[in-house]
Amino acid sequence: MNKGHLVKIEKARKNYGSLAALDGLSLTIEPGQFMVLLGPSGSGKSTLIRSLAGIEKIDSGSIFLDKQEVNRGPINVAPEKRNLAMVFQDYALWPHLTAFENVEYALQRRKLSKDISRKRVETALERVGLSTKGKNYPHELSGGEQQRVALARAIVADPALLLFDEPLSNLDADLRERLRIEISTLTREIGATALYITHDQSEAFALADKIGVINHGKLEQVDLPEEIYERPTNRFVANFTGIAGTFTGKVRRVSKTSCIVSLGEDQLKVRHTVGLEVGQSVDVLIRPAATSFKKESENKISSVITDVAYRGRGYEHAIDTKYGSLTGVFDNVSHPRGGRISVSIDPDRCIAFPTESK
C-alpha cells in the first residue's frame, strides 16, 4: 500500500484584490488520513485545495508535502512534481481522449512499460466499474460515468495525495451517494492522504476521518466528525453542520456543561461549550436530532404543525413555536398540518451561544 503525504500548511495567506481567500490558515493532515474541508461558497476551500495542487500560489506562509516545502515565497514546486492527483468539480476529462486514454495519461509520469501501464489502466477502470467503457469518449458517457473516469484517473498512478474539489456537486442525489461510497473505499484502499472539499455537511460527515470547518479563509474548527457535531466550538460551526432552528433566551442557571435558558414562559435545559453567565442573552441552536414528539420528555414546548414531508423511513415536520420555528422534526407517523403538539428537545443536542450583537 502507498504511503500518503504528510500535509502541512502553515499560516497560508492568499488575497484576490482586497478579498482574503486564505487568512493565515494552518492545517496538518496526517499520512493516509481522509480530511474533509467543509465551508460555504467563498470560504477559501477551493483556493486552499488549488494551492495544495500547485495551480495557485499562496502570497505568504508555507506548504509542506512530507518534508519538502512546496510553496513559500518564490519556491513553488510545479503541480506535476508534487506526486498528487485531483478529481475536479467539472471532471476535467480531456474530450479528445477516450476513457482509457484519459486514465492512461495520468500514468505517463510513472514511466512504466506499455503492458504494465495497460494492465493498471484496465484495473483502475475495473475498480470504478467501467471496464467495458474504455473506448468511449467523454461525451459518450453519462455524468456519473464521467466522474468515475475522473476517479480512475486520480487513483491509477497511486499518488501520495488525492485532492477532491467538490466532485459530487453536479450529480443527482442517488448517484452522489453511490459515488461517495466508491470514493471512500477506493481512497482508503490505495492508502493516499486525501483532502476533500465540500459545502455539503452530510457528505462531509459520511466521508471524513477528520473535518475542518472553514469560513472567511480561516479554519473555525478541525476535529473528528462526532466532535464537530456534538461539540462545535462556535456558532458558525454549529450552524453550518446542521440545525433545526434557533431560539433566543436568557441564562437562568449555569453548570459546567449545561445551563437552563428561559425563553419566556418555558425553560429549556441545554448544553454549552463556551463560558456563559447568568442573565446573559443566548441563542440556542437546536440540532434536528434533538427534536421529537416524545411524550415522556421534560424539555417540552408547545407547537403547531405547519408542514409535513414524507421521507420514506417516516415523516419530517416543520413546526411553529412561540419562540421560533423548527424544521426536520422526525416521527414515524404523520401529524396533521395545523395540529397542536408538544415538541421535546434533547438537552444534549442543543447548544447555547452568546447572542451576537446585530
Partner 1 sequence: MTIFWLVIVSILVLPILLFLAVAFSPKLLDQGPEWFTFNSFKAAADPYFLRSIWHSFVMGVVSSIFATAIALVVAWIVLRTNSAARKAWNLAIFALLLAPSYLIALGWERIFERAGVLNIFGIDLPFVRDLLFGPVGIAMILTFKGIPFAYLVISNAMRGLGEEFEQAVRVHGGSRIAAFKMMSTLLLPALWSGIAIVFAESISDFGVASQLSSPGRYSVATFTLYRSVMSIPVSFPLCAAISIILLGLIVLALFAQSRALRGRSFRVLSGRTRPITRQKLSPLGSVASNASIYVLLILTLGVPVFGAISASMIQGLGTVISNYQINFDNYIRVIKSPLLRSPLLFSAEAALMTATVAVILAAISSRMLVSTKNGPGKKFLDFFLLAAVGLPGIVFAIGYIFAYNLPLAQRYGFHLYGTVALLVLAYIATALPSTTRSLVGNMNQFQESLSEACRVHGSNGIKTWLTVVLPLISRPLLAAWCLTYCGTLLELPVSQILFPPGHAPLAVGIDHALGNYDFGGGTAMEVFAIISALIVVAVAFALYERLAPVGWKQLGRAHQ
- Where on the chain is the footprint of partner 1 (CB under 8 A)? 50, 53-55, 78-80, 82, 84-86, 88-90, 92-98, 101, 105-106, 108-109, 137, 139, 153, 157, 163
Given the complex with partner 1, which of 53 and 214 has the nearer CB atom? Answer: 53
Burial of 233 (0-12, 13-18, 19+ CB in 10 A): middle
Q: Which three cell numbers stand for residue 251?
A: 441564562
Helix, strand, coil shares, percent, the chain, to 5: 25, 35, 35
Contact call for residues 164 and 197 (beta carbons, < 8 A) = yes
What cell numbers appear for 333 in the block? 407517523
- Residue 32 CB, shortest distance to partner 1, in Å, is 20
- Minimal distance in Å, beta carbon 44 to partner 1? 17
Whole-number Å distance between alpha carbons of 47 and 88: 13
Contacts of 181 (CB under 8 A, 6+ apart): none
Cβ proximity to partner 1: between 1 and 55 the closer is: 55
Task: Decide whether 88 or 330 has the Cβ nearer to partner 1.
Answer: 88
Query: Which ranges of 106-163 would DSSP assign to H, the alpha helix?
Result: 114-127, 143-155
CB of 156 to partner 1, least distance (A): 9
CB of 65 to partner 1, least distance (A): 13
Q: Are strands 60-65 and 68-72 parallel, antiparallel or unpaired?
A: antiparallel
Residue 139 or residue 358: which is nearer to partner 1 going by CB? 139
Residue type for position 323: Y
The residue (of 48 and 305) whose beta carbon lies closer to partner 1 is 48
CB of 91 to partner 1, least distance (A): 8
